[in-house]
A and B are shown apart, each in its own frame.
Chain A
Amino acid sequence: MRERDEGRGLSRRRMLGIGGALGLMAATGLSASAALARRPSVTGAELRSAVPLPPPFQVPLPIPAVLKPVSTSGGADRYEITQREASAEILPGVRTPLWTYEGAFPAPTIEARRGRPVTVTHRNELPVPTVVHLHGGRTPAASDGYPTDLVLPGGWQEATPHTGHGSAQGAHGMHDPRAVVTRLTRDYTFPLDQRPTLLWYHDHRMDFTAPAIWRGLAGLQIVRDDAEDSLGLPAGPRELPLMITDRAFAADGSLDYPSLDPTLRERPGVREPYLAGVLGDVILVNGAPWPVHEVDAARYRLRILNASNARHYELEAVSDDGRRLDLVQIGADQGLLAAPVTHRLLPIAPAERYDVIVDFSGVPVGGLVRMVNRLGSGRTREVMAFRVARKATDGSRIPRTLSTDLPAWRRSDAVRVREFAFRVGQMHGGHGWLIGGLPFDPARADVTTHLDDVEIWRLVADVHHPVHLHLVGFRVLSRSGRPPLPHDAGLKDTVSLRPGEGVEIITRFDGYRGRYLFHCHNAEHEDMAMMANLEIL
């Protein structure tokens, strides 16, 4: 008996020891996780600029010029855009070579009216093939900018386009027999039979979208109609388009980007540390670093686009005394909401747009309102600022009802439900980003549906994936099984999935038949195969 008791005593001591060791291990593991984790979580790696960065709120906010049509006859507007190399002084005293539409970054804005077709003749004078996609446009497939529908430069030495997704392998000779390739020029026709909203056009070339946008191939296109004009929203100089991008600058003043092939001709992909996305350490708004804009003490309509490759923002407007101004959302990616939604903090993922009213009337003259990015750290915490310059009268208003034409699809309308996992994976023996376990293949029909079918899609993400559907707008039904968030309101074309999150969306595939895309709009993920085909029969 004594022996057994001693045995038990020993055992109890040992049990305490084991328990203590397990407890210590648990505590160490959890604190290591807390210390190492990115909180808030960020997908991507940041480049560091090699030039001195200017202090914030010194440069005035540029407003992109409105492009003049070359013709307005025949009930349609015709534009001509030359894609060419140019240089600009983005940082004071530093010349930065760019790839541009019409020599400007951001590109000139196209002002359009609902239902009035726009044809843009793009001429490619860049050293590489290009593709133009109008993001958010309800566009026939032939003008939607499918990634293999290339416009080759004059001297390009490749008869048929060979594309190859891959971070480290280069071209795989993946031939797309349906590609429509043109040389030097191409007409893109946009019927614009859609709700008024802020669209943007950008390069969408297979495997090289991210570096092309990074070098400057992005611009705005605004669609308006009489109903929206009559609402009495802030307009004219009190309507500001804000294209937010992040960039990094190399020592020679050029835009730094970790391309495997800096000529962007042959080998796609970025260096290994940047596979999850490329972040810059300079925040540009309309192409200017941390700009400042003089405003009246009145309501302003901010039409915000996150045109960054991979950076997410959580925007808030903070006055000198630390007060947070209301961000009254009136519109989403695909136009006006039914009714305004008031935010203090507005998350915005790559390619998302928010139409927001900010009222500066409560800010004293001379006061500064900073637009802060809560997801940033250091310099990327600042975005831009507004300096309230003068008192002013304000005839604008925010109607309680903004629109009554939002589609009201119900779950019972859906003829099918699809599920897609957006996650990291292997492709061609290398690192890639996959949808439903598969890398993009132009020849594979991933989704085949019929015109006017209503479908529910359930999207699940491993890390941040802003998921974009071409052609259609959709509504968010749920987030991780719970109701949508306040900023999910309205009609969207890009939905931001956060790590581990699942989102249900519902849409009707109407408009046009043909081959379209859906993809992750983290531009690096997109270039590393996170795209799939959407075939509408």
Chain B
Amino acid sequence: MVIDAAPMTTPTGWALRAVVSAHMVAIVGQPVFAGVYLTGDYDSLLWHAIGADVVTSIGYLQVIVAIVVWVRLRRAWPFLATMAVVVAETVQYFAGLDGALWLHIPLGVVTVAALVVQFIAVWRRPLLRREARDARAR
């Protein structure tokens, strides 16, 4: 019961925490660069573009980690939530290239909010393998 009260996070769980955290740090930079760019700092647009590459790359990395979580821990929600964010980020990428600001700005806000929710979800509780918990419950 002692173990059950303080369940250990698996390496896979730590990997998910790490990638979601890095993802959130990267995405928070994007509105910063966009705002500085609109003050007339042209180089910030380059940083915004590099940031977009970094954010989407971490997003695809998160997909891989989320698949591992699904396989090893038998938990699907990280994968589904990650896919939603990655789809949004891909749309976001092309909306930005296309200058479709009506889509780019609100979608960016929504994507940051979704990542913050994921960040809270992965850090709030350890991610345990589903059978382990079910076994203990029995």
What is A's interface to B at a CB cutoff of 8 Å? 1, 5, 19, 22, 26, 29-30, 33-34, 36-39, 41, 419-421, 423, 436-437, 458, 460, 462, 480-481, 498-502, 504
> Which among B38, B42, B105, B110 is the interface contact of A26 at CB below 8 angstroms?
B110
Q: Is the CB of B103 within 8 A of A436?
A: no
The reply to whether the CB of B45 lies closer than 8 angstroms to some CB of chain A is: yes
**Are A502 and B37 in contact (CB-based, < 8 A)?**
yes
The residue from A5, A36, A458 contacting B137, defined by CB atoms under 8 A apart: A5
Q: Which A residues touch B136, using CB under 8 A?
A: 1
Residues of A within 8 A of B42 (CB): 419, 458, 460, 502, 504
Complex A-B, nearest 4 residue pairs according to Cβ-Cβ distance, in ascending order: A421-B40, A37-B102, A458-B42, A26-B110
B101 sits at the interface (CB 8 A) = yes
Q: Are B110 and A499 in contact (CB under 8 A)?
A: no
Q: Identify B102's interface contact among A19, A26, A33, CB under 8 A.
A: A33
Most-contacted residue by chain B among A29, A33, A41 (CB, 10 A):
A33
Known: A5-B137, A480-B45, A499-B101. A30 touches B38 (CB 8 A): no
**In this assembly, does B49 line the interface, its C-beta being within 8 Å of a C-beta of chain A?**
yes
Bound-state CA distance A462–B37 (Å) is 10
Contact indicator A33/B45 (Cβ below 8 Å): no
Q: Which residues of A contact B101 (CB under 8 A)?
A: 41, 499-500
Q: Please, could you name 5 A-B residue pairs with CB atoms under 8 Å apart, sorted by A?
A: A1-B137, A22-B114, A39-B102, A421-B38, A481-B45
A41 to B45, CA, bound (A): 21
Tier of interface size on chain B: 20 to 34
- Do A30 and B103 have beta carbons less than 8 Å apart? yes
Do residues B40 and A22 form an inter-chain contact, with CB atoms below 8 A?
no
Which chain B residues lie closer than 8 Å to A421 at the CB level?
38-40
Whether the Cβ atoms of B46 and A481 lie closer than 8 Å is yes
Using known A-B contacts A1-B137, A436-B40, A502-B37, determine if residue A22 contacts B45 with beta carbons closer than 8 Å. Answer: no
Q: Which residues of chain A are near B100, meaning CB under 8 Å?
A: 39
Interface string of B10-42 (1 = CB under 8 A from A): 000000000000000000000000000111111
Query: B38: which of A39, A41, A420, A460 is its contact (CB, 8 Å)?
Result: A460
Of chain B, the residue at the smallest CB distance from A457 is B42
Report yes or no: B110 in contact with A29, Cβ–Cβ below 8 A. yes
Which residues on B sit within 8 Å (CB–CB) of A26? 110, 113-114
In-complex Cβ contact of B106 among A30, A420, A437, A499 (8 A)? A30
B71 within 8 A of A: no
Across the interface, which residues of A come within 8 angstroms of B41, CB to CB? 419, 460
Q: Could you tell me the dominant secondary structure of chain B's interface residues?
A: helix
- The 0/1 profile, CB within 8 Å of A marked 1, for residues 107-119 of chain B is 1011001100100
Shortest Cβ gap from B113 to chain A (Å): 7
Report which B residues bind A (CB closer than 8 A).
37-42, 45-46, 49, 99-103, 105-107, 109-110, 113-114, 117, 136-137
Chain A, Cβ-Cβ closest to B81: A19
Assuming the contacts A1-B137, A5-B137, A480-B45, asked whether A33 and B103 have C-beta atoms less than 8 A apart, the reply is: yes
Q: How far is the CB of A311 from chain B (nearest CB, A)?
A: 19
Inter-subunit contact A502/B103 (CB<8 Å): no
- Which B residues are in CB contact (< 8 Å) with A436? 40
Q: State how many angstroms separate the Cβ of A261 from the closest Cβ of chain B.
A: 32
Q: How far is the CB of A95 from chain B (nearest CB, A)?
A: 42
Roughly how many angstroms separate A469 CA and B103 CA in the complex, as a whole number?
Answer: 32
- B-side contacts of A19, CB under 8 Å: 117
Inter-chain CA distance A59–B40, complex, in Å, is: 46
Looking at the assembled complex, report how far the CB atom of A472 sits from the nearest CB atom of chain B, in whole angstroms.
20
CB <8 Å contact, B37 and A460: yes
Determine how close the nearest CB of chain B comes to the CB of A334; give it in whole angstroms: 24
- Least CB distance from A413 to B in Å reads 19
A128, chain B: closest CB distance, angstroms? 34
Instruction: Note all chain A residues with C-beta closer than 8 A to B110.
Output: 26, 29-30
How far is B45's CA from A258's CA once the two chains are assembled, in angstroms? 37
Beyond A30-B106, A502-B45: 5 further Cβ-contacts under 8 Å?
A22-B114, A421-B38, A460-B41, A481-B45, A499-B101
**Bound complex: CA A499 to CA B40 (Å):** 13
Closest beta carbon of chain B to A35's beta carbon, Å:
10
- Minimum CB–CB distance from B120 to chain A (whole Å) comes to 11
List residues of chain A with CB within 8 A of the CB of B40.
419-421, 423, 436, 458, 460
Contact B102 A462 (CB under 8 A): no
Residues of A within 8 A of B137 (CB): 1, 5
Which of chain A's residues have a CB closer than 8 A to the CB of B109?
29
A452 to B: closest C-beta gap in Å: 24
- Shortest CB-to-CB span from A12 to chain B, Å, is 9
Beta-carbon contact of A481 and B37 below 8 Å: no
Q: Which residues of A contact B107 (CB under 8 A)?
A: 30
Residues on B with C-beta less than 8 A from A500 are 38, 99, 101
Residues of A within 8 Å of B102, CB to CB, are: 33-34, 36-39, 41
User: How close is B128's CB to chain A, nearest CB, in angstroms?
Assistant: 11
On chain B, the residues within 8 Å of A504 by CB distance are 42
In the complex, are the beta carbons of B38 and A499 less than 8 A apart? Answer: no
Name A460's closest neighbour in chain B (CB-CB).
B40
Assembly CA distance A420 to B110 (angstroms): 30
Please name the residue on chain A nearest to B121 by beta carbon.
Answer: A15
Nearest residue (CB) in A for B42 is A458
Residues of B near A38 (CB, < 8 A) are 102
Q: For B99, give its contact among A34, A419, A437, A499 (CB under 8 Å).
A: A499
Tell whether, in the assembled complex, residue B103 and residue A34 are in contact, meaning their CB atoms are under 8 Å apart.
Answer: yes
Report chain A residues within 8 Å CB of B113.
22, 26
Q: Closest CB of chain A to B35's CB: distance in Å?
A: 11
- Alpha-carbon distance A30/B37, docked complex (angstroms): 23
Q: List the B side residues contacting A502 at CB < 8 Å.
A: 37, 42, 45
Give the residues in chain B near A22, CB-CB below 8 Å.
113-114, 117
Q: Complex Cα distance A255/B114, Å?
A: 52
User: CA separation between A142 and B74, bound complex, in Å?
Assistant: 79
